[in-house]
Amino acid sequence: MDLFDECRQFDLALQSVKARNRFFYSRAISPAAAPVTTRDGRELINLGSNNYLGLTEHPKVKAASAAAIEEYGTGSAGSRLLTGTTPLHLEMEKALAGFKGVEAVVTFSAGFTALSATVGTLAGENDFIFSDELNHASIIDGCLRSRAKTVVYCHNDMADLEAKLKATPAQAAKLVVTDGVFSMEGDICDLPNLRRLADTYNCRLMVDDAHATGVLGRTGRGTAEHYDMEGKVDVTSGTLSKSLAAVGGFTGAPRVVTDFLRYNARQSVFSASLPPPVAATVIAALGILQSEPERVERLRSNARFLSRELKAAGFALHDHGTPILPIAVGGDDRAYQAAGRLEQEGVFANPVVFPAVPTGQAIIRVSVMATHTEDQLRRAVEKFTLVGKELRIV
């Protein structure tokens, strides 16, 4: 046996998929997060990006990043504990804490890292974690690393969660963790009942706001604002790479919790800090989000329009009031066919297949931006309809 045997087997399978024109991942597009992008010299309406508010191209955001490069250079070259803290990092964390309505924030090099580090560091081998079955892979990774007893409950099923909480020793330390907006289906967690159960069974409650920040709530503050429950979530984590136009992740909580994570999470202690231009980008993006709240409503308006038009065209999709619109297409091969034909017709969209979704329930995952025009979305619907009829999806 050779350590690379599995790699070679994977490569054979990968080359076979590519030869059959069934590989639609890692496609190089430019710009990657614009409403209209290009691939191989062809323009495509981009319905695959999580740049929900369109801030990656905002002039003030780009100017802030460029100015930070001039002053601080391109990277920090050190961990936050040593040489990787600048005034911009402190300002960014203060701005994030104010926006999310928490006492303090600690930032990480990626959203995935923020979630896995927070779950994996807060819970230990004698503790219990209750995790929604559709939680993001970063949460699952954190559960595994924590060595806590992980109990998976049925998706958004409060009766199942309560039954499992009842079966847990009352004196045990417990964490209930959930996505705020679930990344594939686009539905929203049942925060009021999660809070009720957490209070009843003496649990801490953690919400991943990766797809909720800039999306949910009147001003885009996230899941808690959506339910008018700000201040009722014990730990809030998320990413800086979607609505906030950068890269990295954050966790907001009482200061004693964020300090504990900052100085105990291996992902914080042993990682280089975010580059100063990233911190400047986040600060600028937060400023625009707060000064231009109409972007949040424009995002919702675009999502409503696209959902309505796709349904009218005969597509089966679930609309949960978020910019994530999963279109049911059937088997994995059908999803690959649809993605390929859509690209030929000028639309970039992502196929999602098993194991990200159950076998035989593949989707085309559409995500909308505030900066899409109605004309762009209408043209995209025309192309979806053409491809949908051709492949007998509608």
Q: DSSP characters for 108-144? A: ESSHHHHHHHHHHHH--TTSEEEEETT--HHHHHHHH
**In this structure, which amino acid lies at residue 241?**
S
Q: Which of 100, 136, 174, 242 is catalytic?
A: 242
Q: How do residues 234-247 score in pLDDT, each as one tens digit? A: 999 999 999 999 99
- 288 to 86, 168, 386: CA distances (angstroms): 22, 45, 38
CA distance 252 to 100: 7
Catalytic status, residue 136: no
- 321 to 207, 304, 358: CA distances (angstroms): 18, 7, 23
Q: Map tokens 């280089």 to a residue.
A: 272
User: Are 308 and 109 within 8 A, CB to CB?
Assistant: no
Architecture of domain 57-291: 3-Layer(aba) Sandwich (3.40)
Catalytic status, residue 242: yes
One digit per residue, pLDDT tens: the chain, 394 residues?
999 999 999 999 999 989 988 888 999 999 999 999 999 999 999 999 999 999 999 999 999 999 999 999 999 999 999 999 999 999 999 999 999 999 999 999 999 999 999 999 999 999 999 999 999 999 999 999 999 999 999 999 999 999 999 999 999 999 999 999 999 999 999 999 999 999 999 999 999 999 999 999 999 999 999 999 999 999 999 999 999 999 999 999 999 999 999 999 999 999 999 999 999 999 999 999 999 999 999 999 999 999 999 999 999 998 899 999 999 999 999 999 999 999 999 999 999 998 888 889 999 999 999 999 999 999 999 999 999 999 999 9
Give me the phi and psi of 107, to 5 degrees please. Answer: -110, 155
Helix (H, G, I), strand (E, B) or coil at 242: coil
Q: How do residues 263-318 score in pLDDT, each as one tens digit? A: 999 999 999 999 999 999 999 999 999 999 999 999 999 999 999 999 999 999 98
Q: Which of 183, 268, 271, 273 is catalytic?
A: 183
Under CATH, which number does the domain 23-52+293-390 receive? 3.90.1150.10
What residue segments make up the domains of the chain, in order of their start?
23-52+293-390, 57-291
- Tell me what pLDDT residue 318 has: 86
Catalytic status, residue 211: yes
Q: Which of 211, 226, 372, 383 is catalytic?
A: 211
CA distance 62 to 59: 5
Maximum Cα–Cα distance for the chain, whole Å?
62
Residues 36-54, buried b or exposed e (16+ Cβ, 10 A)?
A: ebeeeeeebbbbbbbbbbb
